[in-house]
Amino acid sequence: MGTDNVVQFIAKELGEPQLVCVYWEDIISTAGWDEGDDIEPPKLKSVGWFHSSTDKVLKIGDTLGEDDKPYGITAFPVGCILSIDQFSFDQQHTDKG
């Protein structure tokens, strides 16, 4: 999924809480005698509950509360996001106590 698909995901109308995996690149810096050609931004993955998005920021939470709202928010600048996967699962299973 390229950046166009990230924007398409952001524009989606999401009803129930959605579990997503955000693939993203981070910033890296060195303080040593490392050659520039050897330094690349790390590619990372974060899993969480979709909270909200704009054309600049996507937010996910690591915990879904009893009120079905995500908490423990991580905010990603859209420019760092490589792709997003959406998971599906049986919501009824999570309601069993």
Domains, the chain, ranges and CATH?
3-27+40-89 (2.30.30)
The 10s digit of each residue's pLDDT in 28-84 is: 999 989 888 989 999 999 999 999 988 899 999 999 999 989 999 999 999 999 999
The closest alpha carbon to 52, from 93, 3, 11, belongs to 11
Residue found by looking up tokens 């990372």 in the block? 44
Q: Kindly report whether the global pTM for this prediction surpasses the value 0.85.
A: no
The closest alpha carbon to 46, from 19, 14, 8, 15, belongs to 19
Burial of 74 (0-12, 13-18, 19+ CB in 10 A): middle
